[in-house]
Structure 1
Amino acid sequence: MTKKKIASLLLSSVLMISLFAAGSSETKNTISVMGNGSVIVDSDIAHIRVSVLTTDADASLSAQKNADLMTRVQDALIKIGLTKADFATSNYSIYENKPYNSKDGSYGPPEYRTSNNLSVTVKDVSKTGLVIDTALKAGANQLSSLSFSSSKIAEAYDEARIQAIKDAQKKAEVLAREAGRKLGKAIIIEESHSYAEPIAYTGVMMLKAERADTPIVAEDSTATYAVRVVFELK
């Protein structure tokens, strides 16, 4: 082996040892903590999914009945102040069903069920009950989901982020003090997770037109944020 190669290998070894030592020193002189923030805001938007379900021995008649009822539902929603931009079809299906007779185990003649689901956004939560009742009286016969959210959720996230950073720093300061060290600057900040918690009610409810007015009270939405912060230790 030539002297030049030996010198090169020695230099590489010294460099690796230096890097390892630097990494070890950095690990010994840092502290990693989790910080959490949570902000509650008023829910001011309601999300409703109503459906029209029709049945007929003829598939085309089942579909036509459904179309007529859904048109009535949409027209009724527009009359109380909603616009076409506030609702959209979320699912549509036609399928064959054969009624089962549990007494003799036989099946009746086929019937065709048409289901049309309409997702409705209500930007004034005080009108949530009115929207449900209006859709019901116009021909909707299913309510499959109801949830609430907030138009101020972005601002709530910003506040939750600030809370999370402050929470992480407070925890790190306590740990550093108890260890006889001083807290330095933050060198790594990683988002752990963030999510909103709108209040949601799901499941299919069969509705009848003679029901009383529906009282709906929106609950709050929560923006939650978590971070991992690595601080230097002095």
Structure 2
Amino acid sequence: MIKKILTHTVFAITTLLFVGALHAQTQEQTPQIHVQGSGAVSVTPNAYRVTFIIEAQGNTVSKLNGMANSEINNVVNFLLSMDIQEQNIQSMQVRLNPRYVNGPNGRIQDGFTLTREIVVTDSNIDHYDQVLDGVLKRGVDRIQQFNFISQGQNNAYDVALVTAVKDAKARATLLAKELGVEIGEVVAISESGGNMPVPVMRADAFLSEKVTSLPGQETVEARVNVSFRIIQN
């Protein structure tokens, strides 16, 4: 009885595998057109994001943290006075690393370096220079990064993606027409990447150059790979 059940089970599994392989083979033999479509949407950055770094060095962690907190409070109060919303100011990032110096007996630890980051996002691009000048006067050691960003335009990539799909269909239709065939349903589709670049300015550019900086327009791109079934006339 057990042998009979096992025989039926093996037969069923073999049948399923055969049917699956036959289906896959049939799919592979179906004539197809493979195309890549692309889409792009232009957006104008309407905000900026900047990261400020505050560092303190010493032998006592609690003292270092107290010094950093005092400077951060000073910076945050200034940012608030510049009408930057509290939810757009992040100052919780903390890094603590041992500090080493070279002595007569080799490299030895000499206290710690505590690093605090303040990340600011502001939609008022017109006064970013005033924000930077004011913060640098209030104990910030350096600007780590500054970049223009687009807020409230999250659907830009979706629009570019839809445009990419339409472009793929148009390309496939053009190819099919030249070949004297028609395209059928979509067999496969996948995204092949996209990007939403934003202009980035180095911190030293603010200190060495007194120029007017405009965000300009940036391009959001999307790309798709699409396979259509060919209908032969």
* Superposition TM-score, scaled by structure 2 size: 0.75
Measured on the aligned residues, the alpha-carbon RMSD in Å equals 3.7
The answer to whether the 8 A contact 2:98-2:109 is kept is: no
What does residue range 17-166 of structure 1 map to in structure 2 within 5 Å?
A: 20=22, 24=26, 27-89=29-91, 91-100=93-102, 110-166=110-166
Alignment length, in residue pairs?
Answer: 219
CA contact (8 A) 2:30 2:229 kept: no
The one-character-per-residue Cα deviations of 1:22-50 (angstroms, maximum 9, x if unpaired) are 95377433212111112120011211110
Structure 2 unaligned runs (5+)? 1-10
- The one-letter code matched in structure 1 to 2:228 is F
Determine the C-alpha separation between the residues in 2 that align with 1:231 and 1:123. Answer: 44
Q: TM-score, normalised by structure 1?
A: 0.74
Give the fraction of aligned pairs with identical amino acids, expressed as a percent: 19
On the 8 A contact 1:130/1:213 being kept in 2, the answer is: no
Contact 1:47 1:146 survives alignment (8 Å) = yes
Q: Give the SS at the match of 1:140.
A: coil
Q: Alpha-carbon deviation of 1:219? A: 4.5
Deviations 1:161-205 (A, max 9, x none): 232012212221232223222233445433333332223356x76
Seen in structure 2, the aligned counterparts of structure 1 residues 28 and 69 have a Cα distance that, compared at 3 Å, is same
**1:166-205 pair list within 5 angstroms:** 166-201=166-201
The secondary structure found in structure 1 opposite 2:155 is helix
Q: Which amino acid aligns with 1:153?
A: Q
Cα distance change on mapping 1:75 and 1:194 into 2, 3 Å: same
Q: How many angstroms apart in 1 are the aligned matches of 2:79 and 2:23?
A: 70
Q: Which amino acid aligns with 1:115?
A: T
Q: How far off its partner does 1:214 sit?
A: 8.0
Mapped partners of 1:212, 1:57: distance in 2: 37
